[in-house]
Amino acid sequence: MVLFTDDTSLLITGFRKLDSTINQSLHSIISWFNSNLLALNFNKTNYVEFRTKNYYQVETTVKYEDKDISNSTENKFLGLIINKTLTWNQHTDQRATKLCSACYALRNPKHIVPQSTLRTIYYAYIHSILSYSITFWGRSSNANKLFILQKKTVRIITNSE
């Protein structure tokens, strides 16, 4: 179990008796929540089954009393968008969108402010978008487009477009 502020994540591994293990763990967590005067928001609760791309689909049903827990293909965990096959495509697409708007924000003041200010903007905004959790997604096949956008921002700063 991973607890971070108001988020709780549970990692369950194994293939045998997966339905019963998940449902039993969910029941235990809800009991713990209730005894600590906390509540589980069933509207925000979902689960992701991590699988390889060509693994057969197993019907897993997660239920607590009369409430079904939905199966999701992706989930956001501490700022990372993790999908069921760990390809990082959704995460890098979301980062690319942020970088495109950062390029626009960097291009507008480039004729007004000195290069040192543009460099400060780069490290404050763009570098933080790129470097956050890069150890996870940095070697993915989809990461190249982020590094191309990074080169574009460097060209904007150095005025070598």
Average pLDDT of every residue of the chain: 85
Residue ranges per domain, the chain? 2-72, 87-158
Looking at residue 3, its pLDDT comes to 72
Say if residue 72's pLDDT is above 90.
Answer: no
| Spatial distance between the Cα atoms of 125 and 82, rounded to a whole number of angstroms | 22
| Spatial distance between the Cα atoms of 138 and 89, rounded to a whole number of angstroms | 11
Please state which of the ranges 2-6, 45-49, 95-99, 112-116 shows the lowest mean pLDDT.
2-6
Would strands 80-83 and 7-9 be described as parallel, antiparallel, or unpaired? unpaired
Per-residue confidence band for 56, with pLDDT thresholds at 50, 70 and 90: low
- Per-residue pLDDT of 30-39, as tens digits, reads 898 899 998 8
Looking at residue 97, its pLDDT comes to 94
Residue 4 · residue 78 · CB < 8 Å: yes
| Spatial distance between the Cα atoms of 149 and 129, rounded to a whole number of angstroms | 12
